Structure 1
Amino acid sequence: MVDPGKVVDLIKDARDRRTVPLILELDLTDGLVETAPADPLTAILSIRRTHLRDVLDGLRRARTDSRVRALIVKIGSGIGLAMAQELRDAVRAFRDAGKPTVAWAETFGETGHGTVPYYLATAFERIYLQPSGDVGLTGVSLEEPFFKDALEKAGVSPRFAKRHEYKTMANTFMENAYTPEHEEMSSRLVASIGEQITAGVAEARGLTEEQVRKLIDRGPLLADEALDAGLVDKLGYRDEVYAEVRAQAGEDAQLRYVARYNRAHSLTPRLSRPRQDVIALIQGHGQIRLGRSGRSPMPGQGNAMGSDTIGAGFRAAVKDDRVKAIVFRVNSPGGSAVASDAIWREVVLARRAGKPVIVSMGDLAASGGYYVSVAADTIVAQPGTFTGSIGVVVGKPIVNNLLERLGIGVGSVEDGAHARMFSATKDFSDSEWERINTSLDRIYDDFTAKVAEGRHMSREQVHELARGRVWTGADARRHGLVDELGGLDLALDLARKKAGLATDAPVRVFPHTAPLDRLRPPESSDDRTAARARLDAWGSLSGLANRLGLPASGPLTLPGSWDIR
């Protein structure tokens, strides 16, 4: 028999969840996920991770929700610079709505990276720090390894060609120090990021930029030193921080994670038109390749942006008459030139069909990541986004000496003058170099022509900004390579305006497949299930996979790790 008292308690609890005051909280210890992984296995493995869209949508909704009394965020070190700037924008808008915001941390970089986490914290009204913590505001640096001497000792001879002098991937293997152009580019990247962080901290904490630079040069600062310098507002442990926030918000206020708050509202049935107009959101993350998007289960391998999957998303959005504009989120170092071109074409076709396309760049949208963006109506990037890298590089290692030292012999037979052109056990012949240089010239000319067309520049203007050079979003906007500085929220707002939709017009992810669709075979290449993402089994064995004929990253790739944390 059902206990009537328990039924009453359940009803009261459900009512309270809809009416009681709320303190929203967010834990950034493990960072944020840009988007839910498309392949089922990785989606299950990351089901507990917080998604950026949930946070942005939740904070936007909470600005006008009278139940939400405050926001408290635990700052961690797993956030890249552009994402930190995205969160800073969202927090500032929340503050502008008159709601208290509190950032707290056990430490901003315990013998590690603390500059970007602290920079993020300065967007909040108050900053709390555990008494044993530090403020690792130590500035910005970029370290880049050069393997020329090591490869020679190992018996490996790199063979690369590039367009042009700022396309630095080849330098990694063919030089033992910076070239003048490489050093110039890297120095400007670091200077631009330093300028952004210094200006942001100074404005937020009521200091001059000169004062902030002096504090950076003193860092890392102990908790008491940071308090005296005005970098934090109070020292305290978690219980003390939460007690003060509760005292301000009301003792009856309940804690609720921002993502849970947003999803609870998203699941609430809303009265809307059956055929409501929407903005399509297409997510492009990771190395660009031919075929389907996916993700490797191996640590550190990350996402892959497949031209088939992204193309299917654009075609579905174009075909859907409810979609009035498209936002293409790009977070990629590039990859295959052919795949990048296929995605570029889908952007062009979407615009021809009358659907405005707005690109929103994440932490990184360079080389092929810029290629797929350049045909959009508007490109939006954060000041700290790394973009550009308009150039191309092709090459291979020659491993004969290494194999000889290991006692490995290689036999080969061939039919065709260039049959072993990309073999790692054969150097390029003169005629093969001629073919490589012809290909590089064609790719570079095509790339720069598309940039000139998309950005309304002359080829000469584009070449001055291209040559493989990487820019921050702030510098890219100054040079006309991007249009607006901001994040995903700004891109969605611009899309709504271009489409003439209301400011709260809904967003729908494309391509979208229902769970049952994943189980049925596709009927044709136009079927939405045909381009569903796949799980990559090769991971760190991608080199071997490539030898077996499977696709690897392509010539439009930004080398190295470009996160500023």
Structure 2
Amino acid sequence: MNEPRRRGPIARFFQGLWDAMNFTRRLAFNLLFFGFVLLLLAVIGAGDRARPLLGRTTLVIAPEGALVEQYSCDAISRGLSQATGGEDCKEVQLRDLLRGLDAARTDKRIERVLLRTDRMRFSGYASLREVADAIARVRASGKQVVAFGESFDQAQYLLAAQANEVYLDPMGGILLEGLGRYRQYYREGLQDKLGVDIHLFKVGEYKSAAEPYVLDAASPEAKEADLFWMNDVWQRYLGDVARLRKSTPQSLAADIDALPAELIAANGDLARYAQSKRLVDGLKTQEEVETLLAQRGVADEDSETGFRAVDLGGYLKHVDGALQAVDERPQVAIVVAEGEITGGEQPPGTIGGESTAALLRDARDDEKVKSVVLRVDSPGGEVFASEQIRREVVALKQAGKPVVVSMGDLAASGGYWISMNADRIYADPSTITGSIGIFGVFPTAPRALDKIGVHTDGVGTTRLAGAFDITRPLAPEVGQVIQAVIDKGYRDFTGRVAQARKRSVQQIDAIARGRVWSGAQARERGLVDAFGGLDDAIVDAAQRAKLGKPDAYRVRYVEKAATPFERFFSRFASSRMGAHWLRDASWLQILAAKASPHTARDLKFLQSALETTPGRPVKALAYCFCGF
């Protein structure tokens, strides 16, 4: 065996020198790396601490993005969106907006509120009215509320109108136009152009969710039902605005009808037109409003606004900082069910049959939880997933824990399915609910394949073998099988509602058949128990569990917790250094995806409806394309 060759003294010298340099390089790199990490943690820690809140402060509520029940984006995506100015994950939680306003109402350090709603998006009027009530409580406490916007749509304006004073940019405008609901219809494109036949199976002449796939225009029944609930919501909107702006619903409606002629007479100046109709108190730029607030409050040259102010996020840090870290009081748990109802595990913003049921089960198993509020904002979806969630509501009640449902903007079809067994159902008069009906769609594409010269043929051991192949024409007996499944689903739905609401099946059928109702109309028909928002539902749930006064119990949201890394990244993105770094990192901004148009949503829904499970030839759906 050859012995290793020994290096000479010169080689050993240079080898030692190289090892020393390599060690020094790694040491320097590691020191720099850990120094950066420590600096990062220090910045995050400093950014996470709220600045002292002084007296005579103006609370600036100027959220951007969609008003939601819970975030649909994860913490990392929200952090990126916030830091880079992306639009996809800009969201504000209704709960945060409400607790900020409610805390400001009694906070002696908050002198007034500046309200900007012109960069918010809304999906309905029930949640809007909850925020409006919270603003009204601030006004009732004697604190001034000033609203400003560059322009307002009618939903944004409903909140702005709650203020003591409403100012509009001289180049802005307000357009009240009424409520409309228009959809795309695909029958000609699918059937005549592409050769795809969509077979619709449903119960209820008002169940119109799948009409766009089989018709070229809305059915008379769909138009009748939609106009009925929309008129109810719209008249309530006119009444709210008229009361706040010292007008009448009739006058506001007449102004909308006369808008074209009157706007021409005003030389197309929407801002001047709004002022002439007393929709706003004055026309001011943002700088002029800030100067006004500096004169009324406390001027602050170091503030971006020029006056002593705190934004909603900063204020909530003060509110949260005042809460005790450990709270052993009994709990009222809130479980949010927002979005479409689909099977399996789903992220926030979508209701999963398994994931939402698991949250309810967690509340049932938690000894500290004494009652549950299920907050529902959903158009419905899969019947089986809805039933999974309903069973957990029943299990909670059987475990001795009361369940109260608080309906948001929309709790229709499957959204009503998961609500019906609650001890009590609260809704806003402008909530959209009902739509008790079932449907299924089954496409066949042999004509489409014929157009490209593709044909299907083969053999089967029975008359039904391969009958559910969409490349073959739909046999009459297959249609009978599917319709029987849908009929059974409707009987299940109406039967369960009848049992839950202590009515006969015939009474429920008379108000079901897919018919959509406003919250006010639903209460008249016994589908809703009382008017009220989330706070009313919480108080009711606490009383049913005999928890005493509000300070005797704790309210806690039961939801999937963010991972440690998500919390770390969220704090980093909200810090000044993190926001600056991410904003300059343009490569991160390409991660944001653009919102899908209505057509893509409709076709995606059709694709989802086709994804059946073994043993079930068609997916029974309790879904409502209702809303705005």
Does the alignment reach a TM-score above 0.5? Answer: yes
* Displacement of 1:39: 5.2
Residues 146 and 166 of structure 2 are in contact (CA less than 8 Å); yes or no, is this contact kept in structure 1?
yes
Q: Distance in 1 between matches of 2:362 and 2:565?
A: 15
State the secondary structure of the residue aligned to 1:32. strand
- Partners of 2:406 and 2:132 in 1: how far apart? 16
Task: Give the alignment partner of residue 502 of structure 1, picking from 545, 549, 569.
Answer: 549
User: Are the counterparts in 1 of residues 56 and 111 from structure 2 also a CA contact under 8 Å?
Assistant: yes
Q: Which moved more, 1:160-169 or 1:91-100?
A: 91-100
1:276 to 318, 326, 329: 329
Q: What is aligned with 2:309?
A: 255
Alignment correspondent of 1:99: 143
CA distance in 2, matches of 1:506, 1:249: 35
SS at match of 2:121: coil
2:58 aligns with one of 15, 19, 23:
23
For residues 59-89 of structure 1, the C-alpha deviation after alignment (integer angstroms, 9 at most, x for no partner) is 1111111011111121235112222222112
Q: Which amino acid aligns with 1:147?
A: Y
Match of 1:266 among 317, 320, 323: 320
Q: Structure 1 stretch 282-291 or stretch 33-42: which is displaced more?
A: 33-42
Give the SS at the match of 2:65: coil
State the SS of the aligned residue for 2:337. strand
Q: Percent identity?
A: 32
1:50-449 to 2 correspondences below 5 Å: 50-76=92-118, 78-80=121-123, 81-108=125-152, 114-154=153-193, 155-219=195-259, 222-251=270-299, 254-270=308-324, 274-294=327-347, 303-410=349-456, 417-449=463-495
Measured after TM superposition, the shift of residue 233 of structure 1 is 0.8
CA-CA distance at 1:462 after TM superposition: 0.9
In the alignment, the residues of structure 2 paired with residue 233 and residue 448 of structure 1 have an alpha-carbon distance, to the nearest angstrom, of 51
Distance in 1, Cα, partners of 2:94 & 2:424: 22
- In the TM superposition, residue 304 of structure 1 has moved relative to its aligned partner by 2.2
Counterpart AA for 2:429: P
For the 8 Å contact 2:57–2:298, the answer to whether it is kept is no
Q: CA RMSD in A?
A: 3.1
Q: Which range moves more in the overlay, 55-64 or 427-436?
A: 427-436
Q: CA deviation at 1:269?
A: 4.9
Higher Rg of the two aligned structures:
2
User: Per-residue deviation at 1:433?
Assistant: 2.1
Residues 384-424 of structure 1, C-alpha deviation per residue, up to 9 Å, x if partnerless? 22111100001222222222224444566656544545433
Q: Quick one: distance in 2 between partners of 1:214 and 1:547?
A: 47
CA deviation profile, 1:286-327 (whole Å, cap 9, x unmatched): 1112211226xxxxxxx3211211111111111212112111
Does the 8 Å contact 2:495/2:505 carry over to 1? yes
User: What residue identity is the alignment partner of 2:57?
Assistant: L
**Aligned pair in 2 of structure 1 residues 556, 264: CA closer, same or farther (>3 Å)?**
farther
Alpha-carbon separation, structure 2, partners of 1:370 and 1:547: 23
The alignment of Structure 1 onto Structure 2 pairs a total of residues equal to: 521
Please tell me whether the aligned partners of residues 612 and 619 of structure 2 are also in contact (alpha carbons under 8 angstroms): no
Q: Which amino acid aligns with 1:276?
A: R
What one-letter code is carried by the residue in structure 2 that aligns with 1:100? Q
The 3-state SS of whatever aligns with 2:377 is strand
Partner SS, residue 67 of structure 2: coil
Cα deviation, 1:150-190, whole Å, max 9, x if unaligned, reads 33322122211111100012322222333332221011122
Which stretches in structure 2 are left out of the alignment for 5+ residues? 1-44, 83-89, 264-269, 301-306, 567-599
Task: Tell me if the contact between 1:55 and 1:259 (Cα under 8 Å) persists in the aligned partners.
Answer: no
Q: How does 1:449-528 map to 2 (within 5 A)?
A: 449-499=495-545, 500-504=547-551, 505-513=553-561, 515=563
How many angstroms apart in 1 are the aligned matches of 2:92 and 2:126? 17
Give the structure-1-normalised TM-score. Answer: 0.84
> Structure 1 residues 162, 242: closer, same or farther in 2, change over 3 A?
same
Paired amino acid for 1:72: L
Instruction: Pick closer, same or farther for the CA change 1:322–1:174 going to 2, 3 Å.
Output: same
Q: Whole-Å Cα distance in 2 between the matches of residues 56 and 468 of structure 1?
A: 33
Tell whether the 8 Å contact from 1:32 to 1:52 is kept in structure 2 after alignment: yes
TM-score relative to the length of structure 2: 0.76
Displacement of 1:263: 3.2
Q: What one-letter code is carried by the residue in structure 1 that aligns with 2:475? A: S
Amino acid corresponding to residue 621 of structure 2 in structure 1: L
- The 8 Å contact of residues 116 and 149 in structure 2, kept in 1 or not, is answered as yes
Q: 1:490 to 1:248 in 2, by over 3 A?
A: farther
Specify the code of the residue in structure 2 equivalent to 1:242.
E
Q: For 2:622 and 2:217, how far apart are their aligned partners in 1?
A: 21
Measure, in 2, the Cα distance between the counterparts of 1:178 and 1:546. Answer: 21
User: Which shifted more, 326-335 or 33-42?
Assistant: 33-42
Q: Which range moves more in the overlay, 506-515 or 336-345?
A: 506-515
